[in-house]
Structure 1
């Protein structure tokens, strides 16, 4: 992607104030069109069997954004405004994705705004499917990015990323949802990670804490470990997540582990992922629950685990353009109702014990 000199940008960018100091500044327009055709099926329970399935088009992780950067006295000052784009139906939310301003120098990078957390970033060590869609494991892994989920793009955040030192770097993010200092319901987020890279090996550890997200006065916590190594003939990743929620009646815990592999084939790659969520346990009584994103709910007790398996092929047509085909299935035990990680099937029939699956054919163009 070649940056566009700010003095040549379109006049409609002027109100954004992006052209100040144009002689040394750069403005970059960028985006992604990731759209696919999906055939979705649902089974495993009488209601799911009656629903059967449907066909649809989805826009997945599509986006359009503007970046501005200017160097001044050894520091780079920057802003980014990123919006989702619904290529399937038109429209979306202005600045609904990572949108922030900040400064970067020899001591690291500081940002303020709305952005992915370090905990969410760790998924990149095991995510190997182009963009996000029904093949994503965000629901079963971290309960999605809303409600009590840990795959968050957090509003009102301060984030610091350290420089790399001998292959090691760190990140710290602090988020507030409420500006009233006297409120006992002030929601707070703290997310941090450490990542190490040596040649083709990568390892990372992350921790995230939510306060007042689910129960006032209580903290919810997540831990995440990720590993990745590129052997050339195959790229292998592994991850482990632990989620813990504090309820008035006790604690609720859930573990998730995943392994992935990518096998290069000509101008493409065959990708595989297997993930398993254990039964929900803890000191909270049986049937105590936590609501995640898009209808997913954790319920304490037996038969609350699930697995997700995905296999797919991505073919590079030219640099920045891929076509792909995936198949994925979530197999829920009798008391689990995990959904697709993105574009979930949220019909009433997708209740406990129902197994969503889908076939996807799509294209992704980065520009």
Structure 2
């Protein structure tokens, strides 16, 4: 009898523990047929031309991914939390983010009345809010999207005796960039992230990435990313800053610094967006970037449009626009069509453009 009572007590305790813990499998699959026009360097004639290609592409509106996330109630309002998210290319089946198993993010931590503190690989705090102030939500067809620029790319642009291969490399980088903005690294390894709770619409976050590459003569690199935002009713506003290391030597460390301010206002019939960003590379370049956009819901249909531009010391003027239409077949499945076109001065004002028809499914 006593053994039966003990067994029942163990089962009851186990059931209570299970009730206080959750694990969720989730994901998103996005595939589109795209016609992409990019600058291309002709090694025979030495001229920049345009190349048009039709692709089946993964991740148009959102990067395809699957993940596991969960929490455990530790009592007293404290929870253990984790999230493992793996990116993949649905067109080929291979892993994204360089083949990392959980390349989108992987972290574990604690949450409670103080906010959420996690450790691992994260989306940066800058990236958390950038999409909130852009009409096209920082997707692949966003006119304010950016491919990101490395220190090596800047060095190639500066070099007046650039070889054909170097010019081609620059053209390919900007050919892949369908947006007018410079870009940044949206994820950081070996990082600690803190996110406050929401207080009447106000919240803030910070992410710090440890470079873990210190040597006897050179200090370790780092990534620092901060945000503060307000979202309440029709009003949204955000400021964000990100500082990341592009290269380092014993004599000098080169940083890319992005400072963003933006906002939105929802009129019900339409939501307006505005954003301004300044991207600086230590002693090399400074880009002033802006975007204006609108999103219009019409039942299950959402129409979006945006214009964006940037102007700087080395990369010159870049300007573009995008047009998008998304139709929800259900709460989880959306069909869409998108068009983006951008002119890049750094590749002789050649245009990059992409037209796509796609399908996105969430689970």
Contact residue 79 and residue 111 of structure 2 kept, 8 A: yes
Per the alignment, residue 206 of structure 1 pairs with: 240
Contact residue 188 and residue 212 of structure 1 kept, 8 A: no
- Normalising by structure 1, what TM-score? 0.76
Q: Would you say 1:190 and 2:212 are equivalent positions?
A: no
Gaps in structure 1 of 5+ consecutive residues: 1-18, 282-298, 337-350
- Give the CA deviation at 1:48: 5.0
Per the alignment, residue 9 of structure 2 pairs with: none
Per the alignment, residue 305 of structure 2 pairs with: 272
Q: Secondary structure at the match of 1:318?
A: coil
- Give the CA deviation at 1:115: 1.0
Q: Would you say 1:254 and 2:287 are equivalent positions?
A: yes
- Give the CA deviation at 1:353: 3.0
Q: Would you say 1:361 and 2:363 are equivalent positions?
A: no
- Give the CA deviation at 1:31: 0.4
Counterpart Cα distance in 2 of 1:211 and 1:91:
29
Per the alignment, residue 65 of structure 2 pairs with: 63
Q: Secondary structure at the match of 1:81?
A: strand
Q: What are the equivalent positions in structure 2 for 1:63-212 lying under 5 Å apart? A: 63-73=65-75, 74-92=77-95, 93=99, 94-129=101-136, 132-135=139-142, 137-139=144-146, 143=149, 149-178=183-212, 180=214, 182=216, 184-211=218-245
Per the alignment, residue 36 of structure 1 pairs with: 32
Bigger-Rg structure (1/2): 2
Cα 1:254/1:157, change in 2 over 3 Å: same
Contact residue 29 and residue 64 of structure 2 kept, 8 A: yes
Q: Secondary structure at the match of 2:242?
A: strand
Counterpart Cα distance in 2 of 1:173 and 1:323:
34
Aligned length: 306
Counterpart Cα distance in 1 of 2:143 and 2:89:
18
Cα 1:132/1:79, change in 2 over 3 Å: same
Counterpart Cα distance in 2 of 1:209 and 1:43:
30
Counterpart Cα distance in 1 of 2:246 and 2:64:
32
Per the alignment, residue 265 of structure 2 pairs with: 229
- Give the CA deviation at 1:184: 1.3
Moved more, 75-84 or 216-225: 216-225
Per the alignment, residue 12 of structure 1 pairs with: none
Q: Larger % of helix: which?
A: 2
Counterpart Cα distance in 2 of 1:328 and 1:212:
28
Contact residue 44 and residue 355 of structure 1 kept, 8 A: no
Counterpart Cα distance in 2 of 1:164 and 1:202:
13
Cα 1:319/1:110, change in 2 over 3 Å: same
Cα 1:191/1:213, change in 2 over 3 Å: farther
- Give the CA deviation at 1:127: 3.7
Contact residue 131 and residue 137 of structure 2 kept, 8 A: no
